[in-house]
Amino acid sequence: MYKVLILLLVSVVILSAGEIEGIVRDARTAEPLENVIIRVQGSFMETESNADGFFRLPVSVGDSLIKLELSRIGYKSRIIQMNKHDDIEITMDATFVSEPVVVTAQRRPVSDFDSPLNTSSFNRAEMDKNLVRTTPEALHLSNVWVQKTNHGGGSPIIRGLSGNQILLLFEGIRLNNSTYRYGPNQYLNTISPVVIGQIEVLKSSGSVQYGSDALGGVVNLMMDEPDFSAGGVKFSSGFNLAYATPGGQQQGSLQLNLSAPRSTYQIQLNRTHHGEINPGGDLPVEKPSSYDETGLNLAARFLVDEHSLISSGLLQLTQEDVPRWDQVAQRGYSRYSFDPQIQTLSFLRFERYFPGRWLKHSESTVSWQQSLEKRTYQKSGSTVRTVEQDIVTTIGLIQQLESQPMEHWRIISGAEYYTDNIKSWKKKEETSDGTSTNDRGLYPDGSKAASWAIFQMHQWDWPRFVLNYGGRFNSFSLDISDDFFGGVDTESSALVANAGLLWKLNSSFHLSGAVSSAFRAPNINDMSTFGPFDYGIEVPVSGLKPEKTLNTETSLKMQTNQVLGSLTFFHNRLTDLIDRAPATYLDSTQYLGQDVYKKTNLAGAQIYGAETAWSLAWSEKLHGRISLSYTFGEDTKSKKPLRRMPPFYGQSEISYSFAARSEAALQWMFAAKQTRLSGGDKDDHRIADKGTPGWSIFNLRLSSSWRKLDLNARLENLFDQAYRIHGSGVDAPGRMLWFGAAYRIN
């Protein structure tokens, strides 16, 4: 294809009032370029060029050099160094594929192409074009396998691991608490996609950066932050509406923004009705599966000065009467629902840039979270209804410092502290006469958990090589006050490290290798759960050791103006893996008619496989992407399969831009059959006796923008195929037509 050199002519004048003014132009056409982000490096001062290419930045310049960072979609980012009164001509290469910059891998912005680690990411615009229904389903855009136990769930499986072996973050703040369950769960679905500006996935790494649970990787949800105004006080608003048929899916959100040069505020309200699942083919409607949710999100940013920023956020999502259709349809329950599920998170963050080498940037974050989960279930033919409720309140403190002792050497140092307090109860109600009795909750009421950690990461960036290495020490304590089984006080610790080397073969090809250790500390769910799960009853246990992994991987990465992609091979060795094993309770292998199990450390396992993902641009208008993933997991001693291993799967898309700001795309998603089943898979009612059949579906999408109106449409499962994602408790939707509209008022 072809390569275009674009000349950005930036005429810059340093005003006596401490401002930079300029105009950004396309030198080929001499037309002004809008939407160019201009930022003074080492500060929070940034702006965006308007339709005339004009920008203004208030700064305190003095006699020092200034570094301007310029970025715009369709152009390679540049950093320009300048003196006062300089006129600058900047030559930039046009690029037809996006150049992802991610935060999760190194706890600071880095190019994925220049990092030894492997990440994938996608932004708000991609989510809007694809009319994303939930946050877990958004991960399909990154070719992540997502298991859905119910319509209101969604658990990512990254390189064969899921549940509490995957670390979930929001703005770098841990969402995983001490009750996160083993295996697939619904926690990621308690964060609304409305509040998200970007999602980043870090694979087979993350314990050094973020601590426990990152055995398979990290999913980091980045907030869609409000912007400062270029001048004066401005009010803006917007709304999004989406509707799908059949099923009656309805989504709506309203956003209000108030922005000034040094402060900005945002409020979002959203309401969604998730309709009943209508599977493809001749399968009947899966009822009950529908539920409703309501969300409130607040955000504010304050520019103390050009080097200091205060950010804050509050989000809450309430989900009402979220049913487990599989329990009703297959396990003899007349009702089994989560009513309600409520996730609340708030944070306050202070950031500052410094001029010194040993302290370039400081970031302090305090967070408060509370998750409430109330479950109601009743067996068919029984007059006893069971109601359980768990509330986990989490406080977190994070301090991070960035240093740059030498031009090519950066250091990230930090400390973290988290504490959980748990309230748990259970009540059995006799519906025939209205009486009730109290019982032990799923977890011991009043239990507590705490952890603290220190970590440090180094990066050396030479012309031909990038070297990363780091380590973390983490300490944990559990205070389980169990009057029923007896209390347990336990402490544990872990020391982990990672290292990666990237070799810049040339400007287009990079070869990288990385090794990282990871751990998951036993939590309150592992050691104190007393209650039913998918194929039995779990009883408490003591003496569990942390799960540990050692991951090695190697990647070949390619980046040109028309091609962006990577091929990765990985191997993950797990030791002291925690899983359920047959046990006894009251000297019996059964309780309430179900088999009894307890958690135990197994000998070990290994997972290996390969992944590849490519974005292609045949022209400025015609684009494509393809991604494939293969994972194989087995017990190292018995050679038996591990649970919930995804089959070989992948997806591709061809998109064409036509007219002005309009795009059409054809998507293909597929999965091979999965017949390699573990013993747990065979006992799991969600998986058929002979495994899960393969499937292949096609989707069509269309998006168009006109002035301030964005219109999107999506025809999902074009040929109405009946299929189920391996391990899920519900079938995937059949043919479904989505409509979406977004309107902005400035």
If you count DSSP H runs as helices and E runs as strands, how many of each does the chain have, helices first? 6, 48
Q: How far apart are CA 500 and CA 505, in angstroms?
A: 16
Instruction: Determine the Cα–Cα distance for residues 327 and 336; give it in Å rounded to an integer.
Output: 7
Cβ(181)–Cβ(442) below 8 Å? no
Q: Which residue has the tokens 């083919």?
A: 281
Instruction: Judge residue 628's burial from the number of C-beta atoms within 10 Å of its C-beta, 0-12 exposed, 13-18 middle, 19 or more buried.
Output: middle
> Which tokens in the block code for residue 725?
């994602």
Instruction: Provide mean pLDDT across the span 259-265.
Output: 92
Which residues 6+ apart lie within 8 Å of 171 measured at CB?
220, 221, 222, 223, 313, 347, 349, 365
pLDDT at residue 19 above 70?
Answer: no
Predicted model pTM: 0.92
Q: Which of 389, 308, 398, 311 is nearest to 349 (CA)?
A: 311
Nearest to 267 by CA among 311, 302, 313: 313
CA 663 to chain centre: 26
Residue extent(s) of CATH 2.60.40.1120 domains in the chain: 5-93
Taking a C-beta distance cutoff of 8 angstroms, is the pair 115, 105 a contact?
yes
How much is the pLDDT for 244? 93
Q: What DSSP element (H or E) covers 703?
A: strand 695-706
| Per-residue confidence band for 14, with pLDDT thresholds at 50, 70 and 90 | very low
CA dist 483 → 22, 50, 716, 727 (Å): 70, 65, 52, 36
Share of the chain above pLDDT 70, in %: 93
Q: What is the pLDDT of residue 80?
A: 73
* DSSP code of residue 525: H
- pLDDT higher than threshold 60 for residue 89: no
The Cα–Cα gap between 423 and 437 comes to 18
Q: Where in the chain is the domain with CATH 2.170.130.10?
A: 101-220
Mean pLDDT across the stretch 212-217? 95
526: three-class secondary structure by DSSP: helix
Task: Lowest mean pLDDT of 76-80, 87-91, 298-302, 520-524, name the range.
Answer: 87-91
Residue 591 pLDDT > 60? yes
pLDDT tops 50 at residue 4 = no
Cβ atoms within 10 Å, residue 448: 16
Domain 221-745 belongs in CATH node 3.30.420.10? no
pLDDT of amino acid 314: 97
Is there a contact between 664 and 624 (Cβ–Cβ < 8 Å)? no
> What does the pLDDT read at residue 508?
94
Name every residue whose Cβ is closer than 8 Å to that of residue 543 and which is 6 or more positions away in sequence: none
Rounded CA gap, 218 and 703, in Å? 31
Question: For residue 453, what are the contacts with CB-CB under 8 A and spacing of at least 6?
Answer: 211, 415, 416, 417, 472, 473, 474, 475
The yes-or-no verdict on residue 6 having pLDDT over 60 is: no
Instruction: Tell me the average pLDDT across 545-569.
Output: 94
Each residue of 536-547: b (16+ CB within 10 Å) or e? bbbbbbeebebb
Q: How does residue 311 score in pLDDT terms, banded at 50, 70 and 90?
A: very high
101-220 placed in CATH 2.170.130.10? yes
Q: Tell whether domain 5-93 is in CATH 2.60.40.1120.
A: yes
Tell which wins on pLDDT, 102 or 406.
406
Q: What band does 90 get if pLDDT is binned at 50, 70 and 90? A: low
Write the DSSP string, 655-667. EEEETTTEEEEEE
Q: What is the pLDDT of residues 135-188, one digit of tens each?
A: 999 999 989 999 999 999 999 999 999 999 999 999 999 999 999 988 778 899
Coil, strand or helix at 612:
strand
Per-residue H/E/C for 120-140: EEEEHHHHHHCCCCCHHHHHH
pLDDT-derived band at 65, boundaries 50, 70, 90: low
- Beta bridge partner(s), residue 147: 155
